[in-house]
Amino acid sequence: MQNYKMWINGKFVESESGKTYPVYNPATGEEIAQIPVAGNSDIEKAVAAARKAFPVWSQKSQAERSQMALKISKILREHAKELGEVDTLEHGTPAKLAGFLAADIPEWFDWAAYNSRSLMGHTIPVSPDALVYLQREPVGVVALITPWNLPLLMIYQKLAPALTLGNTCIIKPASINSLSCMKLAEILDTVGLPPGTINIITGPGTSVGASLVANRGVDMVAFTGSTETGKDIMARGGQTVKRLQLELGGKNPVIVLDDADINMAVGGMVRQQCFNTGQICGSTGRFYVHEKVYDEFLEKFIAGMKKMVVGDPNDDKTEMGPLVSATHRNKVEGYIKSAIDEGAHVVLGGKRPGPPLDKGYYVMPTVITGITQKMKVAREEIFGPVACFMEKFHSDEQALERANDNTYGLTSWVWTRDAARGMRFANNIQAGTVVINQGHGGGPEFPWGGYKESGIGKEGSLYGLYEYTNLKSIQVDLQAQK
């Protein structure tokens, strides 16, 4: 077992209180590390370090900052193997997937490096005697509060644009699996950033995260996590009118029309449902299947879920590992029980596996049918490998109405052979992303963010870069110099 330290002002430090908390291997339940619990004094030190570093880092040219981002990308790829191993150890990500992610997602720094250099100002043609132009500037000190479900990706997709555009950052990773971020600190310590440009503090979101949000020295909060926590951040951040970028929950509809390619739809949606053990905000949430193809789709979907290889994350054959913690497993099992209590039917899974996987936090791939719009599992995000099949629909209008009948609006899927029909759905679904006839695409060039209670702002794309900048208007009277 290893003891880790926080990274503040370019130094590895214990918390002033000396308090720590344990991290567990979700595949075995064994304790693997102790992590510091930051107190108010630690938070103040991190904020002070970031504020002191801001004029140093922000006044470097964009070319210099972009070169640093490319350097970080390169060194992260060099350490991809060990970063992937940490992801498997603390999160239960299957080793093959963890290795792929660790090697692939540094592209967020590449993308930020190149595209930050292409951000241009604009002039407003007022008159020959005046110059009015717009320029983008870094916001300041940004708190990056990241979730546990994809630890490295969630950090990179915030840190890369925030840092490259001249902001200084304080990262607060999820307390349940902070080891990836601790390993990241060790790597960043070698790249030559000005002290305090990036700081990493650890501890529970209810104390450390809340204090960061309320701190007047923090100019912006970028958060990914639950809608409930997002609402709390809005309330706390509102006291100092902070800039907020919130990527929150989803209960994402899948609409399978009567002319869909069933085999293609099943293949894409089984993978989407079980990716990362269903622990992603972009996971499938509600299946709406036309009455003419419902039985065929359900039968083939169940067959596909049965084929998913659940096992030890270190086994290369494993496709789906454990849930992240015993607490979260209990939460997922609670949703399954609520569906049964409300009259739905578990037609596959819903249980824990037997030995040797009984020591870990596993739930087998699960399919539930007979779910109505008002049931708890139809309204709330489960965050597990649980497919919710809603009642059959008979018309496009009915499917669209039911799909939009939710407080979330993150992403969605439509399966149809009729392109025009698919576009009608795309134009009317209330979601930030609509995917037609394929699995989910992604990457730094894609904007990601939702409608309604799924969040505020975007990550990825040029729109995501803009989130980490202030827009300034400069007006000059050219006649005054004569």
The single residue of 274, 281, 459, 467 carrying the catalytic annotation is: 281
231: Cβ contacts below 8 Å, ≥ 6 apart: none
On whether the CB atoms of residues 457 and 253 are closer than 8 A, the answer is: no
How far apart, in whole angstroms, are the C-alpha atoms of residue 168 and residue 106?
19
Distance (Å, whole) CA 454 – CA 123: 35
- The closest alpha carbon to 288, from 217, 388, 213, belongs to 388
For 120, counting Cβ atoms within 10 Å of its Cβ (0-12 exposed, 13-18 middle, 19+ buried), the class is: exposed
- Token representation of residue 42: 């630690």
Of 176, 187, 201, residue with least CA distance to 92 = 176
Q: Considering the candidates 90, 169, 247, 467, report the single residue annotated as catalytic.
A: 247
Q: Are 313 and 92 in contact (CB under 8 A)?
A: yes
What is the widest separation between alpha-carbon atoms in the chain? 86
For 34, residues 6+ apart whose C-beta sits below 8 A from its C-beta are 1, 2, 3, 4, 20, 21, 22, 23
- Number of other CB atoms surrounding residue 322 within 10 Å: 29
Amino acid at 419: A
Q: Tell me if residue 169 is catalytic.
A: no
Give CA–CA dist 445/462, Å, rounded.
Answer: 8
Active site residue 281: yes
Q: Catalytic residues, which ones?
A: 247, 281
